[in-house]
Amino acid sequence: MYKKILISTILLLTSSVFLFAQKGKLIQKYLEKTLSSQAAPNTGPVPDYSNLYFWAASPMKHSTADSIPSFLKDEKRDQRADVFFIHPTSFIGTDDENDMLQSGTNWKEILDKLKVLSWNADLNDEAINKRSDDRSILYQASVFNGSCRVFSPRYRQANIKAFFVRNTPEAEKAFDLAYSDIKKAFEYYLQHENNGRPIIIASHSQGSLHAIRLLQEFFDGTPLQQKLVCAYVVGYQIPTNAFKHIPVGNTPDATGCFVGWRSFQKNELPGQIKNEVGNSVCVNPLTWTTSTHVAPETLNDGALYSFNRMIPHAVSAGIEPKSKILWVTLPPQIANKMKKMKNLHVYDYNLFWLNIRENVKQRIDAYLKK
């Protein structure tokens, strides 16, 4: 019985650990029991956002978000707006999250590691903090530093296992705790740092789950929406009815809007994506529209291969019409490990890095002209 349940679980999980869809009460109960029975209690401090320690990035401290790739050393930069960046999951219990996105993953081994971990990260865990700083803050948050002051809070993020049992009480409690920190950080930012400046909300993966909630609570139909340049909600499903008043950005210079995408290799359509039955919004970061026409690689200004190496015209991309995910065609020179990955989740920003950077400036220009 254990083997049958585990095999069924693996078939569901290998397509995408980030958007795991529950199928069957038996599997859900098995996973819930497996991941909760030996979970360590949460530890660590409650964040105090007047203390710079609890910010992964802030204009008041040096961080990897300040990094500039060598090929942009002569770029003219300004800080006419602020970005509040919510980083993705770095509390994953394995050395390389790519391991979870490839076929042949040993899920029994992964689950054995995850089940003993706490549901939320300890903010004193320097290994987790360093993972955030060296990956998402460096490769994702830095894309905004050409035009923005970058604010990114450390928060008691939910462990990745919470996505495996997304709708269980344990997972919801973990996500609620994580969001409570983000909300607290954003309120501190508004009170002490904003001073009427234009705002960009940006995020990836778990960060985008929380960004949707933050936008709903603070911006959607409120006076603060007037300060919103754009929300880059990347790497997570954005339901078509997520917002009542914030429109999708369907032109490169639209403001007061949101954009987002989820990257997969062309022709990859995981089962849990099919189960969404198209209830998702996707904007192509090569055209900044919702058109389903494939955008050629000539529109790709540059993909970040390593932090100081850019590949121009690296990928073409088109929105799959039914599922609203972004299908990407990789260039021949990409490493074999990446070619084998059907789910390009961890590269959602890297693949379109220079397009994003230039679009941020374009939208801020359009916002300030208004």
Calpha distance 169→220 (Å, rounded): 27
In Å, what is the CA distance from 48 to each residue of 53, 176, 188, 270, 361?
9, 17, 9, 40, 32
| pLDDT computed for residue 99 by the predictor | 57
Share of the chain above pLDDT 90, in %: 79
pLDDT of residue 13: 41
Q: Please report the pLDDT score of residue 163 as a whole number.
A: 94
Mean pLDDT in residue range 139-149: 98
* Amino acid symbol at 82: D
Cα separation of 86 and 151, whole Å? 9
Is the pLDDT at 52 greater than 70? The verdict is yes
Domain residue spans in the chain? 2-369
Model confidence pLDDT, tens digit, residues 99-137: 555 555 666 788 888 999 999 999 999 999 999 999 999
pTM, 2 dp? 0.91
Residues 117/162, Cβ–Cβ less than 8 Å:
no
Share of the chain above pLDDT 70, in %: 89
The one-character DSSP state at 236 is S
Q: Specify whether the CB–CB gap between 309 and 286 falls below 8 A.
A: no
Q: How many CA atoms lie within 13 A of 20 on its CB side?
A: 27
Name the residue among 282, 279, 328, 333 with its Cα closest to residue 305: 333
Question: Per the structure block, which two tokens stand in for 1?
Answer: 């019985």
- Residue 230 β-bridge partners: 200, 257
Q: Could you tell me which residues come within 8 angstroms of residue 37 by beta carbon, excluding any fewer than 6 positions away?
A: 115
How confident is the model at residue 19, as a pLDDT? 45
Residue identified by tokens 């198209």 is: 278
Q: Distance between CA 265 and CA 251 in Å, rounded?
A: 24
The residues with which 83 forms a beta bridge, in sequence order, are: 150, 200
| pLDDT at 243 exceeding the cut of 90 | yes
List the one residue out of 260, 222, 241, 240 whose CA is nearest residue 356.
260
Each residue's pLDDT tens digit, 331-344: 887 888 888 899 99
Please report which helix (H) or strand (E) contains residue 103, including its range: none
* 148-153 and 257-259 strand pairing: unpaired
Q: Residue 252's closest CA among 370, 358, 144, 146?
A: 358
The pLDDT, as a whole number, for residue 111 is 85
Cα–Cα distance for residue pair 301/311, rounded to 1 Å? 8
